[in-house]
Structure 1
Amino acid sequence: MSSAVATVPGAEHAGVSLLRGDGVITSYTPSSSTVSEVDRLQSTYREGPCVTALWDQHTVVVDDLVAEADRWPRFAPEAAARGILSMLSFQLFTRDDSLGALNLYSSVRKRFDLDSQMLGGLFASQAALVLAGAQESVRLHRALATRDVIGQAKGILIERFGVDAETAFTMLVHSSQNTNLKLVDVARWLVQGRDRPVSS
């Protein structure tokens, strides 16, 4: 995020916040411990520019957090007490499993002008593409790992019971249904060498 600080006029700190499906906001590549701390406040209180950008608006400009106590009564005073007075937040993307926002921070009031907003918006667009690509890569790796472990489990069943691949897969499905476990968890359990028999 150092590139965002260097690019956007007025930015002293920057970071990307991700809102996961379980409701937790996490800092992704924060430029400083201040970013992590302010993001933690927004996650704890469920309010602040980042939360507003994630849910309600694409861009949130805050000229003076001290004056925002009505809008964010718990977050604003604590962020200001930590030296953050101006913020600029951009919604990056909305996906099935997460929301993302780029956040820029300053210790000076009214620090983010129209140039800051324009350059920040351009930077946010680029960050959205990079982050979405990274998340897709993670998803693909997880999918490949899941496929691999199911394939290994099928191989174990084929060898152990002398069945074909389709029957081995059916055995895994039945075990998943009987144990109320996900198919991949049953496969992982089998691959890890447990001795409990798999129901057919």
Structure 2
Amino acid sequence: MCVTEPDLANSADTFARLAIELHDAPGVEETVDAVVQFALQALNCKYAGVALYTRGSRAEIAAVTDSLVTNLYESQISTGAGPLITALRERTIVAIRDTTTEDRWPELGTTISGLGIRSVLDVPLATGDTPRTTVGVLGLYSEQPEAFSTDDEAIAHILAQHASVAVASARQEETMAQAVDARKLVGQAMGILMERFDVDGDRAFAILKRYSQDTNTKLRDVAQHLIDTRRLPH
């Protein structure tokens, strides 16, 4: 398929709107939801989904346009095999041109084709060239065989680049917000201890830290418990 000038103009307009929407998204959940919705608009797919790496290096479902995609993701995550997993581990685009003739994952291919999906395109989300910069995978699904052309793959790659940066930024902002929130909670808890036991800030913080270590509880959660109950955890 050859991309014409009107097609390029439409793609440019679509990605311009995507960039604005991703920038305005308040969090990771809203960011990936915007990505899958734009995928439906910009590419020749019936369904779309995003799976993201967690801190434990395990893929988790972040957004889907249909429960069918959820089932496909859960099957691959549980078995540790499939185009999604390959795209994550090898950081490469994985395409299934026709699920009825797919032989790399025979059982999965049969399952996918049985759901009416004939073409699959999994595109890695990454912000750099190392495995640690892999964010997740954007999955595209069509009911037609040979649905994704070279041009579709190129557009999907651009979409994935936008998504990678947006998700990484949203995660960083959420982490910073959580850190600020945690500091506020610890500060409030320290104030309670300082007033109740007539200790200074250093001593109040040491008490919170000791309870955190003794109970194997996050410092933030110890502080929240003290604020809510006015008691330290047992």
TM-score, length basis structure 2: 0.74
2:93 alignment partner AA: T
1:5 is aligned to 40
Q: For residue 100 of structure 2, give the secondary structure of its aligned residue in structure 1.
A: helix
Distance 2:194 2:232 in 1: 16
1:20 alignment partner AA: T
Identity between Structure 1 and Structure 2 (%): 33
Distance 1:60 1:21 in 2: 24
- How is 1:90-129 mapped onto 2 (pairs within 5 angstroms)? 90-93=123-126, 99-129=135-165
Contact 2:225 2:232 (C-alpha < 8 Å) held by counterparts = no
Contact 2:124 2:134 (C-alpha < 8 Å) held by counterparts = no
2:40 alignment partner AA: V
What's the offset of the Cα at 1:4?
Answer: 1.1
Question: 5+ residue gaps in structure 1?
Answer: none
Q: For residue 139 of structure 2, give the secondary structure of its aligned residue in structure 1.
A: strand
Contact 2:225 2:233 (C-alpha < 8 Å) held by counterparts = no
Distance 1:29 1:98 in 2: 17
TM-score, length basis structure 1: 0.86
Equivalent in 75, 88, 93 of residue 54 of structure 1: 88
1:29-50, Cα deviation, whole Å (9 max, x unpaired):
3222222222222223222211
Matched, 1:163 2:163: no
2:172 is aligned to 136
What's the offset of the Cα at 1:197?
Answer: 7.8
- Which structure has the highest helix share of the two? 2
In terms of mean alpha carbon deviation, does 175-184 or 74-83 score higher? Answer: 175-184
Contact 1:45 1:74 (C-alpha < 8 Å) held by counterparts = no
What's the offset of the Cα at 1:67?
Answer: 2.5
1:45 alignment partner AA: T
What's the offset of the Cα at 1:85?
Answer: 1.6
Distance 2:211 2:228 in 1: 16
1:97-130, Cα deviation, whole Å (9 max, x unpaired):
9841111111111111110111111111111122
CA RMSD of aligned residues (A): 2.4
What's the offset of the Cα at 1:24?
Answer: 5.2
Distance 1:74 1:99, change over 3 A: farther
Distance 1:188 1:36, change over 3 A: same
1:53-76, Cα deviation, whole Å (9 max, x unpaired):
11113211111222234x224322
2:187 is aligned to 151
What's the offset of the Cα at 1:87?
Answer: 0.9
Matched, 1:85 2:118: yes
Distance 1:160 1:197 in 2: 16
1:174 is aligned to 210
Matched, 1:40 2:74: yes
How many residue pairs were aligned? 196
Q: For residue 74 of structure 1, give the secondary structure of its aligned residue in structure 2.
A: helix
2:5 is aligned to none
Distance 1:57 1:108 in 2: 25
